[in-house]
Amino acid sequence: MNLRSILLQAPAYAAFAAFIGYFSAAPLYHHLAADRAVVKLSFSHAAERREECHTRTAEELAKLAPNMRAPLDCPRARADVHVEVMMDGAVIFSAVEHASGLRHDLPATVYRRLEVPAGHHVFRARLADNASGEFRHDGQIEVDLAPGRVLVIDFVASRGGFRFRS
Amino acid sequence: MGGIAIGARIRRWDEAIGAGLDAIFPAGANPWRHLGSLAFLLFVVCAATGAYLFAVFDTSLAGAYDSGRALDSQFLGRLVRGLHRYSADAFAVFTALHLLREAARGHFRAHRAWSWLSGVVLVPLVWVAGITGFWLAWDERALYSASATAEWLAAWPWRLALFARNFATPESMNDRFFSLVVFMHIGVPLFALAATWAHFQRLSHVRAWPPAALGVPLMASLAILALAHPVASLGRADALAAPATLAIDWFYFFPHALAAAFSPAALWVAIGAGFAALCAMPWVGPRKRPVAARMDLANCNGCARCAADCPFGAVIMVPRSDGRNHPREAQVVPDLCASCGICAGACPSATPFRRRTALASGIDLPQHTVSDLRVELDRALAANVGAPIVFACTPAGLAAGAIAVECAAMVPPSFVQYALRGGAAGVILAGCREGDCEHRLGDRWTRERFAGLREPALRAAVPRERVRLVFRGSDAGPLREASLELEELSAEERQ
């Protein structure tokens, strides 16, 4: 490799390295405005059954094959989960999520990232998980949400319903 | 018509870029013509540096961040981590350029379809292998990417939103998930390696490695970059913080920015449509397959030169079927044949000096036989007495005024001797730019045959000063110069 060749190639390699080095960390990505915060609603919840179980009568049991004669008939499908998130009294998110699974008998899963103005807010979340659509679970928090901070809203029925974390 | 014009324009750009880099890089070491092998080199460097990092890195959720910071504070750690990252970035760049270039050159149909499809499959694997590597540092950037990927997956209805819950709170992430990330970061590249092996399968004489004159300076420049501009972890990951700005690696993080700018669903649609379009390319456009080479058993002595020279492994040797005293015979696999004629140029039967019987080669192109070539050569010798004879390959676009051949290596060296005996001032073989043969190996085999390094070799008695190999693509200047030189040489000899 002669000097001319080195003089020609060196800038080419330097330019390539500079290209790789620059775009490996720049330009800075602004994925959230400086005065915004984030609310993450995330839960997985099995709603109530869409229909109540009922006790089979003797006639009904007689019609079934002997190995299928279970006294209770429980339709597997679960109700939709309706969830709402309010900020300072205004609804900022509302969704109806179907139960998952081929027979709609598994939990409904909700994940949503919401960008909100930073500051002092009252967040309220409520959830309906029954066939009537009545909101039977409710939770509220008053929070100072600094810019760039995250409020996580979870729902765990066995631990009392909505849980807020910031 | 519009599509053809655009295709021609893209090919001109491709050639212009290659020609521009020819002025900088030594012959045979032009990076534009080694994009695939450069990508492979960088993949191997990623694997080698990754093996070191795996040995010294704490791949637990609690220890990963501190382990990354510890690497940043050591010379060797900075060097290896930087090389690992920058090689991965360069790997993505070369992979993308390789794919675009092959697409621009129409290398996705017929005999190239397998290489194309196996290459397209590699693209998402490269991304998954790369992005999971960023997660292992478990800093702000890692958490952002993991969350953004999870939110992107959540656009699907099949409970994939559950994945996003892993990153919702500090407690929701655990070592088990981190082990899965480690497994993906190692397992997906292994799968990619298997796909790379498949990618090479329908090619012969694959040059997986770039020339040292290219690979060594490239790695040196990335090593210098690793030390001069070290890769460093950002702040510790905190699920309850969302930094407004982040220093992201655009080579791998661009889908996150696109998903945020449009929507996760729109990005899935765009990527799905793009991937489907790439996979469908072998079946769109001109459907005509190249006419496969034809073997003539009566003229085949089973020497296997055609099988050795075929760039696509379309000629195989099988046991003799006619009882003659040769153990093998050539057999053409039509689906793999590019119809380049390199096999005909390699056949010892393809000699124009045979006059007693019709000129028939052991293997030949039905649409352009060696016998046709001799007829064209005889005609050119009669029409241009004392002028040089030019054989030019059609892909290079210089066939006007020359004897057009499918590839420069289709011309058996004995034709050069025949032309000179017939009174030609000299013989020029013109073809694609060096290292850029449309049929992969035409320039290489021609050079080796004419240098006496490969059979069939140009006979030692042929005056070399009367023969020119001009591998400069569609650049007609060097061809004219070679022609003038040969005419002057001939004029001097006559005086």
Q: Is B225 on the interface with A (CB under 8 A)?
A: yes
Cα separation, B139 vs B133, whole angstroms: 12
Q: What pLDDT does residue B31 have?
A: 96
Q: What pLDDT does residue B254 have?
A: 97
Number of C-beta neighbours around residue A26 at 10 A: 12
For B9, the token pair is 């324009």
- pLDDT, tens digit (0-9, with 9 covering 90-100), for B433-477: 988 999 999 999 999 999 999 999 999 999 999 999 999 888 889
Share of chain B above pLDDT 70, in %: 98
The residue among A124, A50, A113 whose CA lies nearest residue B148 is A113
pLDDT-derived band of residue B356, with 50, 70 and 90 as boundaries? low
Closest by Cβ to A100, choosing from B26, B144, B159 = B159
If you measure CA to CA, which chain B residue comes closest to A108? B159
- Residue A68 pLDDT greater than 60, yes or no: yes
Instruction: Provide the whole-model pTM.
Output: 0.90
Are A29 and B151 within 8 A, CB to CB?
A: no
- Residue B172 pLDDT greater than 90, yes or no: no
- pLDDT, tens digit (0-9, with 9 covering 90-100), for B107-142: 999 999 999 999 999 999 999 999 999 999 999 999
**Of the candidate ranges B144-158, B178-192, B235-249, the one whose mean pLDDT is the lowest:** B144-158
DSSP 8-state secondary structure symbol assigned to residue B139: B
Are B217 and A9 within 8 A, CB to CB?
A: yes
Q: Is B161 on the interface with A (CB under 8 A)?
A: yes
Distance from the B5 Cα atom to the nearest Cα atom in chain A, whole angstroms: 31
What contacts B243, CB < 8 A, 6 or more positions away? Answer: A32, A148, B140, B144, B235
Cα separation, A87 vs B296, whole angstroms: 83
| Residue of B17, B21, B22, B24 for testing the chain A interface, max A β-carbons within 10 Å | B24
Q: What pLDDT does residue B273 have?
A: 98
- pLDDT, tens digit (0-9, with 9 covering 90-100), for B396-421: 877 677 999 999 999 999 999 999 99
- Residue B350 pLDDT greater than 80, yes or no: yes
Contacts of B244 in chain A (CB under 8 A): 30-34, 36, 147-148
- Residue B264 pLDDT greater than 90, yes or no: yes
pLDDT-derived band of residue A4, with 50, 70 and 90 as boundaries? confident
**Beta strand pairing call for B389-393 and B403-405:** parallel
Q: What pLDDT does residue B174 have?
A: 86
- pLDDT, tens digit (0-9, with 9 covering 90-100), for B45-92: 999 999 999 999 998 989 999 999 999 999 999 999 999 999 999 999
For B189, the token pair is 């590249």
If you measure CA to CA, which chain A residue comes closest to B90? A20
- Residue B1 pLDDT greater than 60, yes or no: no
Cα separation, B452 vs B285, whole angstroms: 41
Mean pLDDT across B13-34: 90
Please check whether residue B330 is in contact with residue B317, taking contact to mean a CB–CB distance below 8 angstroms: yes
- Residue A138 pLDDT greater than 90, yes or no: yes
For B222, the token pair is 């990335």
Q: Is B164 on the interface with A (CB under 8 A)?
A: yes
Q: Sign (positive/negative) of CA torsion B410, B413, B418, B423?
A: positive
Distance from the B208 Cα atom to the nearest Cα atom in chain A, whole angstroms: 21
Q: If DSSP codes are grouped into helix, strand and coil, which group holds residue B159?
A: coil
| Chain pair A-B, CB pairs under 8 angstroms | 126
Phi-psi region at A160: left, alpha or beta (left = phi > 0; alpha = psi -120 to 50): left
Closest by Cβ to A14, choosing from B221, B241, B251 = B221
Cα separation, B204 vs B216, whole angstroms: 25
Are B260 and A31 within 8 A, CB to CB?
A: yes
What contacts B449, CB < 8 A, 6 or more positions away? Answer: B345, B409, B413, B455, B456, B457, B458
Cα separation, A104 vs A107, whole angstroms: 8
- pLDDT, tens digit (0-9, with 9 covering 90-100), for B276-325: 999 999 998 776 778 999 999 999 999 999 999 999 999 999 999 998 98
Q: What pLDDT does residue B399 have?
A: 64
Are A13 and B221 within 8 A, CB to CB?
A: yes
- pLDDT, tens digit (0-9, with 9 covering 90-100), for A7-58: 889 999 999 999 999 999 999 999 899 999 999 999 999 999 999 899 999 9
Q: If DSSP codes are grouped into helix, strand and coil, which group holds residue B246?
A: strand
**Partners of residue A108 on adjacent β-strands:** A45
Q: What pLDDT does residue A1 have?
A: 61
Q: What pLDDT does residue B2 have?
A: 58
| Residue of A3, A7, A111, A145 for testing the chain B interface, max B β-carbons within 10 Å | A111
Distance from the A104 Cα atom to the nearest Cα atom in chain B, whole angstroms: 12
Share of chain B above pLDDT 90, in %: 78
Q: What pLDDT does residue B3 have?
A: 60
- Residue B162 pLDDT greater than 90, yes or no: no
Are B241 and A20 within 8 A, CB to CB?
A: no
Mean pLDDT across B251-259: 97
Please check whether residue B93 is in contact with residue B251, taking contact to mean a CB–CB distance below 8 angstroms: yes
**Partners of residue B342 on adjacent β-strands:** none
The residue among A21, A15, A19 whose CA lies nearest residue B217 is A15
Mean pLDDT across B232-241: 94
What is the pLDDT of chain B when averaged over all its residues?
92
If you measure CA to CA, which chain B residue comes closest to A24? B249
Q: What pLDDT does residue B262 have?
A: 95
Distance from the B124 Cα atom to the nearest Cα atom in chain A, whole angstroms: 19
- pLDDT, tens digit (0-9, with 9 covering 90-100), for A71-107: 999 899 999 999 999 999 999 999 999 998 888 999 9
Are A21 and B243 within 8 A, CB to CB?
A: no
- Residue B176 pLDDT greater than 60, yes or no: yes
**Beta strand pairing call for B245-246 and A29-30:** antiparallel
Q: Is B81 on the interface with A (CB under 8 A)?
A: no
| Residue of B46, B91, B171, B229 for testing the chain A interface, max A β-carbons within 10 Å | B229
Are A5 and B26 within 8 A, CB to CB?
A: yes
Are B248 and A29 within 8 A, CB to CB?
A: yes
- Contacts of B447-452 with C-beta under 8 Å, sequence gap 24+, read B449/B345, B449/B409, B449/B413, B450/B413, B450/B416
Q: What pLDDT does residue A142 have?
A: 97
Contacts of B242 in chain A (CB under 8 A): 31-32, 37-38, 148-150
Q: What pLDDT does residue B287 have?
A: 67
Q: What pLDDT does residue B5 have?
A: 73
- Cα distances (Å, whole numbers) of residue B393 to A74, B405, B481, B486: 77, 5, 18, 20
What contacts B171, CB < 8 A, 6 or more positions away? Answer: none
